[in-house]
Chains A and B, each alone.
Chain A
Amino acid sequence: MKQKPTLQSTLKALLYLAPALIILGVFNIYPIIKSFLMSFYTDYDYFKDIVHEYGFDNFMFIFNDSEFWVAMKNTFIFVLGVVPMSILLSLGIAILLNSKIKFRGIFRSIYFLPFVTSVVAVSIVWRWIYHTDYGLFNYFLGLFGVDPIQWLTDPQWAMPALIIMSIWKGLGYNIIIFLAGLQNIDQQYYLAAQMDGARPWKRFLHMTVPMLSPTTFFVSIVAIINSFKVFDEIFALFNGKPGPAYSAQTIVYYIYEKFYNEWEFGIASAAAYILFIIIFIFTLVQLYIGKRRVTY
Chain B
Amino acid sequence: MQKAALSKGFIYLILILGSALMLLPFIWMVSTSLKSAGEVMRMPPVWIPSDLKWENYAIAWEMAPFARYTLNSLIVTILSTIGELLTTILAAYAFSRIHFYGRDIVFAVLLGTMMVPGEVLLIPNFVTLSNLGWIDQYEALIVPWLASIFSIFLLRQYFLGIPQELSYAAKMDGCSNFRFLWTIMVPLAKPALITIALLKAIGSWNAFLWPLIVTQSKEMRTLPVGLTSFSTEAGTVYELLMAASTMIILPMIILYLILQKYIIEGVSKAGIKG
Contacts and interface: CB of A to CB of B under 8 A. Distances in A.
Contacts of A35: 120-121, 123-124
A32 B128 CA distance: 13
A218 B271 CA distance: 9
A270 to B, nearest CB: 11
B110 A121 contact: no
9 contacts: A17-B90, A31-B124, A93-B14, A128-B242, A131-B238, A134-B45, A180-B268, A235-B208, A283-B115
B247 to A, nearest CB: 9
Contact of B248 (A5, A121, A232, A279): A121
Give the residue among A113, A114, A259 with the most B Cβ atoms within 10 A: A113
Interface in B56-89: 86-88
Interface stretch (A58-66, A101-109, A155-163): A101-109
B213 interface: yes
A116 B264 CA distance: 10
A16 interface: yes
A30 B124 contact: yes
B143 interface: yes
Contacts, number: 286
Contact of B268 (A1, A14, A179): A179
Contact of B128 (A26, A128, A129, A179): A26
B223 interface: yes
B6 interface: no
B209 interface: yes
Which interface class (under 10, 10 to 19, 20 to 34, 35 or more) fits B? Answer: 35 or more
Interface residues of A, number: 99
Contacts of A96: 11, 14-15
Contact of B249 (A1, A118, A239): A118
Contact of B91 (A16, A256, A280): A16
Interface of B: 8, 11-12, 14-15, 18-19, 21-26, 28-29, 32, 40-45, 86-88, 90-91, 93-95, 98-103, 106, 109-110, 113, 115-128, 143-144, 146-147, 149, 152, 164, 177, 202, 205-206, 208-209, 212-213, 223-225, 227-228, 231-232, 238, 241-242, 244-245, 248-249, 252-253, 255-257, 260, 263-264, 267-269, 271-272, 274
B249 A23 contact: no
Contacts of A122: 25, 245, 249
A5 B144 contact: no
B147 A120 contact: no
A3 interface: yes
Contacts of B102: 10
